[in-house]
Amino acid sequence: MAPPNIILVLADDLGFSDLGCYGGEIPTPALDALGRSGVRLSQFYNTARCSPSRASLLTGLHPHQTGIGVLTRPDLPHGYPGTLDPACATIAERLRAHGWTTWMSGKWHLAGDAEAPNDSWPTRRGFDRFFGTLAGCGSYYDPQTLTRQEDPAADAAGDPGFYYTEAIAAEAAGWIDEHTARGAPAPYFLYLAFTAPHWPLHAPDDAVEAQRGRFDDGWDALREKRLARMVEEGIIADGTTLSDRDPSQPAWADAGDRQWQARRMEAYAAQVQALDEGVRRVLAAVDRSGRAADTVVVVISDNGASAEELPIGTAEQFAAKDEVLRRGTRDGLPVRAGNDPTVVPGPEDTYASYGIPWANLSNTPLRKYKRWVHEGGISTPFLMSWPSGGLAERHIVHTPFQLVDVVPTLLEAAGIDDRHGIEGRSMLPALRGGDVEAVPLYWEHVGNAAIRVGRWKLVRDHPGAWELYDIEQDRTELDDRAAARPALTDELARQWQQWADRVGVLDWNAMLARYRDDGLPPQLAEE
Ligand SMILES: [Ca+2]
């Protein structure tokens, strides 16, 4: 078999059920076709937040083993280093060593220093080519830290129609076309890391307008409809109970400014549809190359939907901290930030998020969001296509896997027998319709913690007590069995602690206490 091309697509803050082929009402034809013709996973898990998920995805290690436990920033002396440890190999470095051409287009968010080129930048972590942003988020019209190789890229400055999602895809499609034109025999690895649909809600007017009316039924009715479609698709077991509406939110019937509320979700949907269009554009370049059959495509989201309301902190604190707000639009207009009806999201001079109630829809039928390791924080769509790879096509695989399993899967697909320094195991046998040995899955993020062993999941919302759920019967985590099963709860807690000690999870309370003792602000607890 020819060594395959590998395209790893990462969405940012995309909810579990946003894609059409996972029950969503947002039009995502390219991703739906990919998922329905290939394999979908119903229980694939990320690690709840941007940087840790990216670190785990690219190394096959748990985030704490890569230097990135929370986000990228200097969390030392008591926290994590906050930058990708040079001691752990990236998938790009591994594939390049075996002859793959390696490209990255999109968001990195693994460098402690995003301002000056250093050894944690993609160009020095195995990628031959890099176009994208080093920072965690920013304007879609004028992205902060936009870089080509190691130099500032001025693409947005001279192009009033610039839109980041489109630019990420166009750059990557161009690389594939160029590779094809050269008749290049080497396979390639493309890491296509969109920032969509992470806030701010930025999308051109006509793209938002195209979504008009789609969400007028409101979050309550749409959550129920999504769950019904998820059951129809086979993503969720029939009989699954829908979690309650987020208790902080009103019923749709009682919500004020429903036109503005719907507009927020329309802008979000426009971002998701642009992501889908970007994937379509890249896959069209693959088709033109004549090598589609020998191309592995994987699509994942880095965390569950985000319930982060803007501004984070007071408006003044947020404005002082955020680069987009400090510098305004390219035309010199001030940027209006915040989730209130005076800010109608979409244009360059707005800075808003879709907020808790719509994140609640995005994660249907699950509870909680990005940052938490309950199912709503860590469940992601997982699509894989590889026409010549012998996958169990048009099937949904229900075996639970997590991000550490991606690197070994891609290495096996590439025919590379190298598992050194990797925690996960290859998913390929399961994706081909066979069995894999069941192993425990683990999570920790800002004190939130979980372990999954078979059907049982022990999970904690820090600083709360452990909760125990039978995920096979209760995917939405509504029936806490911890009190009824104390021995099992203790045993799983012991196994989790053993893992945490082994991979270097820092004790969250102890770490915060050390900061307090030093008179330093507990920066780790903040956004
Ligand atoms: Ca994210």
User: What is the Cα–Cα distance from 436 to 444, expressed in whole angstroms?
Assistant: 24
Q: What is the pLDDT of residue 527?
A: 39
Q: Is the pLDDT of residue 30 over 60?
A: yes
29 sits in which H/E element: helix 29-37
517 confidence band (pLDDT: 50, 70, 90): confident
53 confidence band (pLDDT: 50, 70, 90): very high
User: What is the Cα–Cα distance from 319 to 325, expressed in whole angstroms?
Assistant: 5
Give me the mean pLDDT over the 115-136 stretch.
96
Using the mean position of ligand 1's atoms as its centre, give its distance from the Cα of residue 272 in Å: 14
User: What is the Cα–Cα distance from 292 to 310, expressed in whole angstroms?
Assistant: 42
Local structure of 443: helix, strand or coil: strand
Tally of CB atoms within 10 A around 98: 14
Residue 21 falls in the annotated catalytic set:
no
Give me the mean pLDDT over the 201-214 stretch.
98
Q: What is the pLDDT of residue 184?
A: 81
Choose among 120, 130, 134: nearest CA to 50.
134
237 confidence band (pLDDT: 50, 70, 90): very high
CB-count burial class (<10 Å; 0-12, 13-18, 19+) for 460: buried
Using the mean position of ligand 1's atoms as its centre, give its distance from the Cα of residue 485 in Å: 34
Give me the mean pLDDT over the 157-164 stretch.
94
155 confidence band (pLDDT: 50, 70, 90): very high
Per-residue pLDDT tens digits for 176-204: 999 999 998 899 999 999 999 999 999 99
Using the mean position of ligand 1's atoms as its centre, give its distance from the Cα of residue 54 in Å: 9
Q: Is the pLDDT of residue 156 over 70?
A: yes
The amino acid present at 454, given as its one-letter code, is G
Per-residue pLDDT tens digits for 469-506: 999 999 999 999 999 999 999 999 999 999 999 999 99
Residue 445 falls in the annotated catalytic set:
no
Using the mean position of ligand 1's atoms as its centre, give its distance from the Cα of residue 13 in Å: 4
Give me the mean pLDDT over the 138-163 stretch.
95
Choose among 2, 3, 7, 32: nearest CA to 287.
7
Quick check: 456 and 496 in contact, CB under 8 A?
Answer: no
Q: Comparing 124-133, 154-163, 221-230, 242-251, which segment has the lowest mean pLDDT? A: 154-163
Using the mean position of ligand 1's atoms as its centre, give its distance from the Cα of residue 196 in Å: 9
Q: What is the pLDDT of residue 346?
A: 98
Q: What is the pLDDT of residue 525?
A: 47
Give me the mean pLDDT over the 17-22 stretch.
98
Using the mean position of ligand 1's atoms as its centre, give its distance from the Cα of residue 303 in Å: 5
Choose among 404, 406, 401, 396: nearest CA to 379.
401
79 confidence band (pLDDT: 50, 70, 90): confident
Give me the mean pLDDT over the 70-96 stretch.
91
Q: At CA 301, angle to CA 100 and CA 507, rounded to 5?
A: 100
Using the mean position of ligand 1's atoms as its centre, give its distance from the Cα of residue 359 in Å: 13
The amino acid present at 383, given as its one-letter code, is L
Q: Is the pLDDT of residue 258 over 60?
A: yes
Question: Could you tell me the CA-to-CA distances from 511 to 50, 446, 507, 525 in Å, in that order?
Answer: 21, 10, 6, 10
Q: What is the pLDDT of residue 47?
A: 97
Using the mean position of ligand 1's atoms as its centre, give its distance from the Cα of residue 465 in Å: 26
Per-residue pLDDT tens digits for 307-350: 999 988 888 888 887 888 888 999 999 999 999 999 999 999 99
Tokens for 274, please give them. 């642009």
Q: What is the pLDDT of residue 524?
A: 55
271 sits in which H/E element: helix 258-289
Using the mean position of ligand 1's atoms as its centre, give its distance from the Cα of residue 483 in Å: 34
Q: What is the pLDDT of residue 357?
A: 98
The amino acid present at 471, given as its one-letter code, is I
521 confidence band (pLDDT: 50, 70, 90): low
Using the mean position of ligand 1's atoms as its centre, give its distance from the Cα of residue 15 in Å: 10
What DSSP designation does 22 have? G
Tally of CB atoms within 10 A around 429: 15
Mean pLDDT of the chain: 95
Using the mean position of ligand 1's atoms as its centre, give its distance from the Cα of residue 391 in Å: 28
Helices (H), 428-517: 428-431, 486-503, 508-517
Using the mean position of ligand 1's atoms as its centre, give its distance from the Cα of residue 415 in Å: 30
Give me the mean pLDDT over the 206-212 stretch.
98
Rg (CA), the chain: 22
Per-residue pLDDT tens digits for 363-398: 999 999 999 999 999 999 999 999 999 999 999 999
Using the mean position of ligand 1's atoms as its centre, give its distance from the Cα of residue 302 in Å: 5
Per-residue pLDDT tens digits for 425-477: 999 999 999 999 999 999 999 999 999 999 999 999 999 999 999 999 999 99
Token look-up 């030093």 returns 518
* Ramachandran class of 265: left when φ > 0, alpha when ψ lies in -120 to 50, beta otherwise: alpha
pTM of the model: 0.97
Interacting residues of 290 by C-beta distance below 8 A, sequence separation 6+: 180
How many residues in the chain? 527
Half-sphere exposure at residue 222, Cβ-oriented, CA atoms within 13 angstroms: 24
Of the listed 62, 109, 179, 198, which one is catalytic? 109
